[in-house]
Amino acid sequence: MEQKNYLFPIFLKAHQIRFLIVGGGYVCEEKLNFLLKSSPLSQVTIVAPEVRLKVLAVIEKHAAPNVKIVQREFQASDINGHQIVIAATCIEAVNAFVKQCANAQKVLVNVADDPPRCDFYMGGIVNKGNVKIAISTNGKSPTLTKRLRQFFEEMLPDEIDDLAETLNAYRNTLKKDFETKVSTLNQLTKELIQ
């Protein structure tokens, strides 16, 4: 089977990264909720002339002290100091300008609902304590990503976090080289997938 999805998934320490969201409407609400649900200590600046009350509700729901709102039009200098930008306006020209400004500073940008302009996609995330699973459809179907996330959230038992803690404790008792540790842990966990 030919591989069609060449994306490389990584897990960022989001609390160490500064995010900029341009736009304060429905898309901002969705992206902010997604980010704070997974990483509630994220440092986020929202720049928008108007901010929906539901965006404020998301901030309150997650008790997110690191979210700052700048209520005005986007300016190119807003990119300064941010490592990741999300263009979340409903105005194509503004999103294109945000993309141009971010790329000029070599900052990664996600342009909501415009896969060709994205440097990265925000896939589905399943959280079960220390276990986190990322899901991507290569930007083809956010709806399918959402449904897969819901499926895995229901199917994975909450106790999987206990298993991760137990395996970590056992791994820390192994005083062998890396290859032997991997082999030992692979042997121990192979029953999980049978």
Tokens of 175: 């005083």
- CA torsion through residues 12, 14, 17, 21, sign: positive
Please give the pLDDT value at position 59.
94
- What are φ and ψ of residue 193, in 5° steps? -105, 10
Q: What is the DSSP string of 30-98?
A: HHHHHHHHH-TT-EEEEE-S---HHHHHHHHHTT-TTEEEE-S---GGGGTT-SEEEE--S-HHHHHHH
DSSP letter, residue 15:
G
Q: Note whether 149 and 140 are within 8 A (CB).
A: no
Q: Identify the structural domains of the chain with CATH numbers, from first to last.
A: 14-122 (3.40.50.720), 123-156 (3.30.160), 165-189 (no CATH)
What integer pLDDT is reported at residue 194 of this predicted model?
64
Q: What is the pTM of this model?
A: 0.86
Return per-residue pLDDT of the chain as tens, 194 residues: 677 888 888 999 999 999 999 999 999 999 999 999 889 999 999 999 999 999 999 999 998 889 999 999 999 999 999 999 999 999 999 999 999 999 999 999 999 989 899 999 888 899 899 999 999 888 888 889 999 999 999 999 989 999 999 999 988 888 888 998 888 888 888 877 76
Separation between Cα atoms, residue 60 and residue 82, nearest integer Å: 23
CA–CA dist 112, 147 (Å, integer) = 19
